[in-house]
Amino acid sequence: MIEVDSRGRRCPLPIIDLARKMPSVEVGEVVRVLADDPAAANDIPAWCRMKGQEYLGSPAPDTYDVRRLR
């Protein structure tokens, strides 16, 4: 699992961090985003829908898992 630590960064920076990491992620791999900005709870699933990636959920507070689909 690849981890992107965006704690302490405010919207839209956690999404920008995720988007910048995705080109280096293999299809099928999971990226875990650590983000304590409350907006991330809505922004990350919305970004996944817009970009055709799979939002896997939030397994812990301030933690969001995304699977690269394409």
Local mean pLDDT, 10-residue blocks, the chain (70 residues): 97 97 98 98 98 98 98
pLDDT recorded at residue 60: 98
Residue 48 appears among annotated catalytic residues: no
Q: Tell me which of 2, 11, 25, 56 is the catalytic residue.
A: 11
Question: What is the spatial distance between Cα 61 and Cα 54, in angstroms, rounded to a whole number?
Answer: 19
Total-model pTM? 0.96
Residues 6+ apart with CB under 8 A from 19: 47, 51
pLDDT recorded at residue 53: 98
The structural domains of the chain, ordered by start, are: 2-68 (3.30.110.40)
Report H helices in 1-70. 13-21, 40-51
pLDDT recorded at residue 10: 97
pLDDT recorded at residue 11: 93
